[in-house]
Structure 1
Amino acid sequence: MPVEFPGAAATGTRPVVEVRRVVIDDPLVEPLLRELTEEYVSRYGPEARQEMTRYPRDAFAEPAGLLLLLLEDGEPVAGGAYKRYDEHTAELKRMWTHSAHRRRGLARQVLAELERAARAAGYSRVLLTTGPRQPEARGLYLATGYTPLFDLSADPLTIGPLPFQKYLTS
């Protein structure tokens, strides 16, 4: 589904960003998996590679899960997924924005698309966890209405994973 990129009017351009539901084996997913793995390793060390193989490949498949990409001119620029956590809760995973396309609001758009899809799939709550060395992700989730399930005043590096939740409204 093509949508205009929010904020494009400020630059005078109107790139069209297509939202596409994909499966993990789609070749368009490869940049997401590769760059996200590199990002995790650069921030958390080589053992972070394990995160990318933690869940079965079908965990992000419909109807219980979803993997989506934002495409610009047919190329993936951002993406994310959710998987079933329980009957009422989806867990967001694999949030990614291509390094050349950051600071454009694409992660916020991915988040909104995932929330919309999770709500349509019958979920009423979303959980997610980010790492303590991802302050931009922490800021995004706080800015988009997620409730931190940790002490915000504590040093994130002393906490470990940073869990959030959000109740989805109709």
Structure 2
Amino acid sequence: MNSRSRIDRYQNYIIRDWQSDDRIAAAEVIKNALAEYGLGWEPDGADRDVIDVEKYYLDRGGEFWVIEDNGIIIGTSAYYPCLFQSSEPENLGEQAVEIRKMYLHSKVRGQGLGKYLLCKLERTIFDRGYREIRIETASVLTAAVKLYESNGYVPVTDVETSRCDRAYVKFIDK
């Protein structure tokens, strides 16, 4: 693991920093989760960041985590900094982060792991000094929509990913 590696646990699951040999397994988790909901895998579009984690996350100051169960990758979660035109005038032009690639294998959903990951991402983002978080998702991902809305994310209209039809923002208080 690299020098800034982190390991965390939730129940029996290990949450750790992505490593280059995780590329195929992480992509498979995401591809399979999308397929369950009738959404397509887009390696040349919305999912190119999973193919090149170094460029889209690590080199930009973001993070990409994998979740393991007995050495098998069963989930992913990530964020990267990006420039948004904030809807709050005092934050115009400031950097925000976008949470991306929060996917879990169907066998581990409904155990609180998604909520734990979201809270862990928010804490990490806050500790890095960011106060605005963006998320895009698809309406068909009803559990994700419910998770975001029940954790203080509010709808916005600036969806950038063709596969997604919902976007959310959350401002973290200082």
TM-score with structure 2 setting the length? 0.72
Aligned counterpart, 1:22: 18
Post-superposition offset of 1:126: 0.5
Post-superposition offset of 1:46: 4.3
Post-superposition offset of 1:94: 0.5
Cα distance in 2 for partners of 1:26, 1:124 equals 32
Count residues in correspondence.
Answer: 149
Cα distance in 1 for partners of 2:104, 2:152 equals 20
Match among 40, 43, 50 for residue 34 of structure 2: 40
Post-superposition offset of 1:149: 1.7
- RMSD across aligned C-alpha pairs, in angstroms? 2.5
Q: Cα 1:2–1:38, aligned 2, differ >3 Å: closer, same or farther?
A: closer
Q: Secondary structure at the match of 1:89?
A: strand
**1:53 aligned partner, one-letter code:** R
Contact residue 68 and residue 80 of structure 1 kept, 8 A: yes
**2:21 aligned partner, one-letter code:** D
Cα distance in 1 for partners of 2:140, 2:169 equals 19
Contact residue 10 and residue 113 of structure 2 kept, 8 A: no
Aligned counterpart, 1:167: 171
Q: Which runs of 4+ in 1 moved over 6 A?
A: none
**2:17 aligned partner, one-letter code:** R
Cα distance in 2 for partners of 1:43, 1:4 equals 26
Post-superposition offset of 1:102: 1.1
Post-superposition offset of 1:26: 3.0
Post-superposition offset of 1:44: 4.5
Aligned counterpart, 1:84: 81
Contact residue 88 and residue 122 of structure 1 kept, 8 A: no
Cα distance in 1 for partners of 2:170, 2:141 equals 19
Could you say which structure has the higher helix fraction?
1
Contact residue 79 and residue 107 of structure 1 kept, 8 A: no
User: What whole-Å deviation, never above 9, does each CA across 1:112-165 have from its counterpart, x for those lacking one?
Assistant: 121112122221111010012211110110111111225xxxxxxxxx610001
Cα distance in 1 for partners of 2:66, 2:132 equals 22
1:93 paired with 2:100, answer yes
**1:36 aligned partner, one-letter code:** I
Show the 5 A alignment for 1:1-150: 1-5=7-11, 15=12, 17-23=13-19, 25-27=20-22, 29-46=23-40, 48-49=42-43, 50-53=45-48, 56-57=52-53, 58-61=55-58, 64-86=61-83, 87-149=94-156
Contact residue 89 and residue 124 of structure 1 kept, 8 A: yes
- Unmatched 5+ stretches in structure 1: 6-14, 151-159
Cα distance in 2 for partners of 1:2, 1:82 equals 17
Contact residue 89 and residue 125 of structure 1 kept, 8 A: yes
Post-superposition offset of 1:168: 2.0
- Unmatched 5+ stretches in structure 2: 1-6, 84-93, 158-163
TM-score with structure 1 setting the length? 0.74
